[in-house]
Amino acid sequence: MSDEASPRLALPFLVPGQAQKEMVHNEALQRIDALAQPVAQSADLAVPPTVPTPGDCWIVAGGATGAWAGHAGDIAQWTAGGWRFLQPGEGWRCHVSDRSAAMRHDGTTWVNETVRSDGIYVDGDKVVGSRMADIDPPVGGTVVDNEGRAVINELLTALRTHGLIG
């Protein structure tokens, strides 16, 4: 552990005899503001927005340019003092507004979480999606074969729609 910052969030420490301690304290508060319950506007922008709102964050996309150049994968937060960049660590999670889902940092890159607003994903494949309408059971008895085949086809359609079978 460094004598200057905390090990996980790199929050700056106050040290005895330090001048302008409020600057170090305010920097720590700014980092906490970005990292406690983090929300990013997007993870797909490589160019900084032209009119950001103080406090808004983005996960910087690859190929970043302008003020974001060299910060791909970082969390960029706009503040009254300009852009602040936070390097994520393994296990960090961030809700991404334009995806309506969370992303997790695996120690190297940001990856989509498995549970998203439109379903549950395994290895990038949707395996559970939105609930479909009920499937009516076969009735009668004179055309059981046709009714049975129709119900089986509906079941297969539902399983395919949910991504449970190919």
- In whole angstroms, what is the distance from residue 159 CA to residue 89 CA? 37
Residues 6+ apart with CB under 8 A from 49: 41, 56, 58, 78
DSSP letter, residue 68: G
* 3-state secondary structure at position 11: coil
Contact present, 59 and 71 (Cβ < 8 Å): no
- Report domain extents, the chain: 1-36, 37-111, 118-161
- In whole angstroms, what is the distance from residue 111 CA to residue 43 CA? 10
Predicted local distance difference test score (pLDDT) of residue 1: 46
**Which uninterrupted H or E stretch holds 78?**
strand 75-79
- pLDDT (tens place) for every residue of the chain, 166 residues total: 467 877 777 778 888 888 888 888 877 788 787 778 899 999 999 999 999 999 899 999 999 999 999 999 999 999 888 999 999 999 999 999 999 899 999 999 999 998 887 788 888 888 777 777 776 666 666 666 787 888 888 888 888 887 777 7
The strand order across the sheet containing 101-105 reads: 39-40, 93-96, 101-105, 110-116, 119-122, 125-128
